[in-house]
Structure 1
């Protein structure tokens, strides 16, 4: 593992942000570490604490831009490098990717992008010999890069081939390309508000989506935005806010939220008057869930437990829950627009273990549900193995369940996100907007079942 490099007080402004960005990119591309692990929590990059807010935001945007455009950048650099990207110096690769991303898609002067990338390789013992190469390639990128990209048709390049093939087979070539194109854009900030969406849209300089979610292009620290500290809203993609609607009126009902952290859906249910039991196996994630509920001043029983093994609480008196929400662990391919590392960390071999877990969670959910109760299953995945196929397998093995088809009126009239079978399926290209930053949804699947 390469030694971490920290900001030096006397160094060139902006170099520290690029050094951290290079370390984090190396973590994703060569050590298969997620962005979340490297940006937050105990295992976060230690130099983040010394970065000013502005540099931290710049670093995040550089990393995200590289990962969103990684296929295009790889094809571009292959055109500009006779012998390919150096393989013996990861810092040289990172410097080329970061420099090209700034030149082509970020509001950074070309000369600054080139100069700081050269300084980045000069400061690394193994990469220093490539300083001249990095300088020449990035200068050529500034001159020729945009024309080359026009030839490359990047919307089909920034998704791993195996993933694009799957989407084409399931959704058709045209839709798969629209999805890939939507994923290339930095997404908006979506928030679920406690009340008065119009007022909060005005205060956050955003707009109210048909579903009631407030969407804004404001950036920077979320905790500094109006209303956050007062617990008036929480961050939640518009698609992620839809599954809890499928329970209908939950006032006074007992709802179990399995795999509940970080708690957006728990908060929705509690706000609607449900008596929520929120379960998650990770103590750290449950701690975060409790912090979020405390800020929002919303009540819920929170339990650290493996939902599959959990035996239920004494308060239920063995009667079962009125509703169970299974927001199951999955490949998360529907969240690539917000978590671009997912595209490059996931593999087709991941499906087997995850679908097995999803099936176990569903079988457990059935045992927790009272007769007449509602089971809502959802995943932030675009893959049918984790959605339609999991539910089909459950229905074929559980005679006590039937599907309760979702109607467009339950999801703000958005008929395009309802499948022919009556399930919910959102895609990154749904909810388009003239400004692509204001369009799109996370990819979500949800099905509603009722126990007879």
Structure 2
């Protein structure tokens, strides 16, 4: 992204805030981007600030390794983040090297905590520039503990291919309200129709200004995220419940296919976004604010979808902060939540009905291990194997067990990491 030097310090200070929020687990990058001060920036400044922060997070590992070779001891967090910001401008965005250094040094001087480090920041950044950009070593792109886990799960070569996707800026994927209009939308939006039916676009900017947004022709949804709802194969008039439904992309899929949809989520605020999307798309759903694990409703459904809370490590293409905010203990703690919700979801399935369980996680404990434990304790449920290529999933994602392990590198141009399994409730 080409940027002028005069984007100024406010945008760079906002980027610094985003990086700090992402790495300190204070709500994450998206929450920080919605903060009061950030909204006062001009649209161009907001875009530049987000681009800076995202680029820094995508290459945080290689940048930090290069910085460690220049620092005798660890500086204060603000200074470390300033160095990251200067490096990412010089190496990964079209900001002239002198401007990257000069603006970073100036930012260092305006804060009393970082002011004593102006000389250090100047020297370190100039040293990095002499060395040139660090290489995108996949073993550095991911946090070491996660790379070790991925290597244990799939082997070193696949772990490297997954990690290489971290540095890549993703395209924008759209799900269409009427798939029959795919060619027309592809021409209108200058996009590519993927084998799954997802429309992939290279265009950037405010999606609300794109053709078809206001008229409800499509919604933003990653190609991999669109697969689980398709696995339910809902028919017009069937009842379907989407548990943990917000922000609603999968609920929209079910409704667009003709199902009578109930969308359940514990967050009223997140359900407001779902309701807005349904209104824009001209679709309807019953919206329920409730914890899916103890929802007080006796109904059962033809189709049940559970996109369970998880570590979200598979979403790093659009949310690289998840990799650096996650901790090893998160996976184990979330596994208990997933097991509870899976049992509750199974109780919602009519005899003969279908359940799809999915997580946007790359961790086997949240996917494959959940399936085996679930089948062991629920004799009323049987695994319904997924066929090769079903729902548009890459053939490489199909496991020997008949589940899907969707990895980011398996689709040309990338996709989110997901796990999905389908079950039938025995009559």
Partner of 1:245: 230
Partner of 1:166: 149
In the TM superposition, residue 22 of structure 1 has moved relative to its aligned partner by: 0.9
1:256 alignment partner, one of 241, 259, 274: 241
Pair 1:444 & 2:427 matched: no
SS at match of 1:136: helix
Pair 1:292 & 2:280 matched: no
Pair 1:75 & 2:62 matched: no
Question: Measured at CA, do residues 13 and 447 of structure 1 come closer, stay the same or move farther in structure 2, by a change above 3 Å?
Answer: closer
Partner of 2:391: 411
Aligned partners of 2:86 and 2:101 also within 8 Å: yes
1:359 alignment partner, one of 339, 344, 360: 339
Pair 1:130 & 2:114 matched: no
Partner of 2:55: 65
Cα distance in 1 for residues equivalent to 2:38 and 2:195: 38
Partner of 2:43: 53
Question: Measured at CA, do residues 322 and 23 of structure 1 come closer, stay the same or move farther in structure 2, by a change above 3 Å?
Answer: same
In the TM superposition, residue 222 of structure 1 has moved relative to its aligned partner by: 1.4
1:144 alignment partner, one of 125, 131, 141: 131
Aligned partners of 1:252 and 1:273 also within 8 Å: yes
SS at match of 2:304: strand
SS at match of 2:410: coil
1:176 alignment partner, one of 159, 170, 195: 159
Cα distance in 1 for residues equivalent to 2:329 and 2:255: 37
Cα distance in 2 for residues equivalent to 1:143 and 1:309: 59
Aligned partners of 2:235 and 2:258 also within 8 Å: yes
Partner of 1:102: 89
In the TM superposition, residue 203 of structure 1 has moved relative to its aligned partner by: 2.2
Pair 1:215 & 2:200 matched: yes
Deviations 1:329-359 (A, max 9, x none): 0000100111111001111111232111111
In the TM superposition, residue 311 of structure 1 has moved relative to its aligned partner by: 2.4
Partner of 1:7: none
Question: Measured at CA, do residues 307 and 413 of structure 1 come closer, stay the same or move farther in structure 2, by a change above 3 Å?
Answer: closer
Deviations 1:278-327 (A, max 9, x none): 000001011111011111111111000111111226xx4xxx21011011
Aligned partners of 1:240 and 1:442 also within 8 Å: yes
Q: Which runs of 5+ in 1 are unaligned?
A: 1-10, 433-438
Pair 1:267 & 2:257 matched: no
1:16 alignment partner, one of 10, 22, 26: 10
The residue correspondences of 1:193-342 to structure 2 (distance < 5 A) are 193-195=176-178, 196-312=181-297, 316=299, 320-342=300-322
Aligned partners of 2:229 and 2:253 also within 8 Å: yes
Query: Structure 1: which 4+ aligned runs deviate by more than 4 Å?
Result: none
SS at match of 2:375: helix
Partner of 2:350: 370
Aligned partners of 1:91 and 1:124 also within 8 Å: no
In the TM superposition, residue 32 of structure 1 has moved relative to its aligned partner by: 4.1
Aligned partners of 1:259 and 1:280 also within 8 Å: yes
Deviations 1:69-121 (A, max 9, x none): 1110111111233x14413xx33222110110111111111111111111111
TM-score with structure 2 setting the length: 0.95
- Tell me how large the CA RMSD over aligned residues is: 1.5
In the TM superposition, residue 422 of structure 1 has moved relative to its aligned partner by: 0.4
Aligned partners of 1:183 and 1:428 also within 8 Å: no
SS at match of 2:405: strand
Question: Measured at CA, do residues 413 and 263 of structure 1 come closer, stay the same or move farther in structure 2, by a change above 3 Å?
Answer: closer
Q: Which runs of 5+ in 2 are unaligned?
A: none
1:427 alignment partner, one of 407, 410, 413: 407
In the TM superposition, residue 141 of structure 1 has moved relative to its aligned partner by: 2.0
Cα distance in 2 for residues equivalent to 1:15 and 1:379: 39
TM-score with structure 1 setting the length: 0.90
Cα distance in 1 for residues equivalent to 2:383 and 2:17: 48
